[in-house]
Amino acid sequence: MADFRDLLDDLIARVRGTDIAEIEVRKQGFRISLRRRQPSPGIPGHSGDGAHSAGADPDDAEPNTGEIDIRSPLNGIFYAASSPDEAPFVKLGDEISPGQVVGLVEAMKVFNEIVAEVAGTVSALLVAEGAEVGEGGAVLRVRLADPD
Q: What is the pLDDT of residues 51-65, one digit of tens each?
A: 443 333 444 457 778
**Alpha-carbon distance values, 98 to 65, 72, 141 (Å):** 19, 15, 14
pLDDT tens digit string along 12-61?
777 776 767 677 777 767 677 776 654 443 333 333 334 443 333 444 45
Maximum alpha-carbon separation in the chain:
59
The structural domains of the chain, with segments of one domain joined by +, span 2-35, 52-144
Which amino acid would we find at residue 54?
A: A
The model's pTM is 0.59
Whole-number CA gyration radius for the chain: 17
Candidate CATH numbers 3.40.50.150, 2.40.50.100, 1.10.1740.10, 2.60.40.420; the one for domain 52-144: 2.40.50.100
